Amino acid sequence: MPSSLRLPLIVGLGALFGVVVAAAGPQSFSKADRDLAHQMLRNVASDVQVSYYDAALHGVDWKDRVRQANENIDKAESMDAAISEIAALLDTLNDSHTNFFPPPRSNSYDYGFKLRVIGDRCYVVRVRPGSDAERKGIKTGDVVLTVNDIRVSRKTLWRINYIVRQLRPQPGLRLTVAGEGASQRQIDIAAKIEPSTALKYFLHQGVNQMVRDWGDAVELMEPRFFEKGDDLLVVQLPAFTMSAEEVDHVLGKMRAHKGAVLDLRGNPGGFVDTVDRLIGGLFQHDLSIYDRVTRTGTKHVSVSGRGHSAFVGRFAVLIDSESASASEILARAVQLERRGFVIGDRSAGMVMESQVHRHELYTDSRTFYGASITEADLLMSDRKSLEHVGVEPDISLLPTAQDITAKRDPALSKAATLVGSQLTPEEAGTAFKELDPKQY
């Protein structure tokens, strides 16, 4: 259940792109570049038509949409504008797991801060030390109202990140930040622009760079643990990318404790096999999880319980607005089976199953691009889909701006209490070592 790249929006991609592109610098766009854009469009559009789970494509006139995209690419004045047309084409399906992966950029853009929607507001949750954002006075706990004049909300934040980080990277961003009372201020933040390491992959000894980058990515996805005697284990799971052996290791540590909290906040999803195995380890009995609805039919999916090897202690799951896909499947299964408590914020509502279709371009060097394409809708055991809906926690508990600034974690504190342990919000906020600033 690979992580998705898109949340549904009220406004379309075209409207957002029109606003964001104003900050982009000029680009040269040759006939060869335009031909490459048309080639990418052809391949991605064909992949969707052949593989998308709904053969009717939700009633979208795909042939006409592709024709429009080709015409727009003919009129495009830059490669950024051209690949945005491909992304906009896939956006017409309004599907969280169907999206375009453009070729890697020659440069990486680091804006020095991270945003997260909490409830109905968007907060700064991290600021990189030494960044222009820090120098301009951006602080954790700040409320951000707009980015480049686009209003930030639960529905738009992911799209803004997709545009400015992948489709049309910007040399700088303008934030509207809410201050105390009704005051607002606009802050222009410059990106730190560096050559992308991906461009080194196909050079001499490039495999060494690829291994280093992959190692860094794997490290970020590894589970992290916090223990308090044999009463409490907190498992922070950044993604569902573990092998069967790694899942069993996590379950083994859980069995050694009376209560466990699975922290899925910020977890975008991952592999079907990983989440199925982890769910199975939480139950002694077999259970139904969901139905896979594909273009060829519907298949019922169940997992085998672990019997006496299952973790049977007190259990809670933490979710937030960035918990997506496999995270939502597990949280909802826990709710439906009354296995434990789900605490935090409403989840992302991005629950489909997809596969990545990869293609290569041969120009001066090998270049990859592709698309994630939904191959199955998933209906939970209550026959309802979580797509565009999300999981409502049993206990809604949102950190305040003061909590973010002071590094308090009231949701984890509450979860610890529910599984039979005591952890103050201050202790919970420091349960895990902060990420290296280079890693966000």
Task: Establish if 151 belongs to a structural domain.
Answer: yes
Task: Establish if 269 belongs to a structural domain.
Answer: yes
Q: Does residue 126 sit in the same domain as residue 158?
A: yes
Q: Give helix 272-280 / helix 244-255 axis angle, nearest 10°.
A: 30
Find tokens 């052809």 and name the residue. 42
Q: Please give the pLDDT value at position 107.
A: 85
Number of domains, the chain: 2
Distance CA 80, CA 252 (A): 48
Sign of CA dihedral 415, 220, 283, 381: positive
Q: What is the DSSP string of 201-245?
A: TTSTTHHHHHHHHHHHHHHHHS-EEEEETTTEEEEE-S-B---HH
Q: What rounded mean pLDDT belongs to the chain?
A: 88
Q: Please give the pLDDT value at position 7.
A: 28
User: Of the candidates 139, 161, 195, which is a domain's last residue?
Assistant: 195
Residue type, 297: G
Report the percent of the chain where pLDDT is more than 90: 78
Q: Does residue 241 sit in the same domain as residue 341?
A: yes
Task: Establish if 408 belongs to a structural domain.
Answer: yes
Sign of CA dihedral 210, 213, 216, 219: negative
Question: Across residues 311-340, what is the average pLDDT?
Answer: 97
Task: Establish if 159 belongs to a structural domain.
Answer: yes
Q: Does residue 159 sit in the same domain as residue 259?
A: no
**Residue among 77, 25, 101 nearest 367 (CA):** 101
Q: Please give the pLDDT value at position 100.
A: 96
Q: Does residue 221 sit in the same domain as residue 171?
A: no
Quote the tokens at residue 351: 């629950």
Residue 200, pLDDT above cutoff 60: no
Q: Please give the pLDDT value at position 27.
A: 58
Q: Does residue 246 sit in the same domain as residue 392?
A: yes
Q: Which domain holds residue 181?
A: 107-195
User: Of the candidates 167, 195, 223, which is a domain's last residue?
Assistant: 195
Q: Does residue 180 sit in the same domain as residue 229?
A: no
**Of 167-181, 227-241, 353-367, 406-420, which gets the smallest average pLDDT?**
353-367
Task: Establish if 64 belongs to a structural domain.
Answer: no
Q: Please give the pLDDT value at position 186.
A: 95
- Other Cβ atoms less than 10 A from the Cβ of 268: the count is 22
Distance CA 390, CA 331 (A): 10
Q: Tell me, what CATH number does 157's domain have? A: 2.30.42.10
Q: Is the pTM of this model over 0.75?
A: yes
Q: Please give the pLDDT value at position 14.
A: 35
Q: At CA 110, angle to CA 126 and CA 18, rounded to 5?
A: 105
Q: Please report which confidence band the pLDDT of residue 213 belongs to, taking 50, 70 and 90 as the band edges.
A: very low
Task: Establish if 266 belongs to a structural domain.
Answer: yes
**Residue among 200, 282, 271 nearest 1 (CA):** 271
Q: Does residue 246 sit in the same domain as residue 172?
A: no
pLDDT tens-place string over residues 6-20: 322 222 333 333 333
Q: Does residue 263 sit in the same domain as residue 399?
A: yes
Residue 103, pLDDT above cutoff 70: yes
Q: Does residue 328 sit in the same domain as residue 418?
A: yes
Q: Does residue 270 sit in the same domain as residue 403?
A: yes
**Of 27-36, 250-259, 266-275, 416-425, which gets the smallest average pLDDT?**
27-36
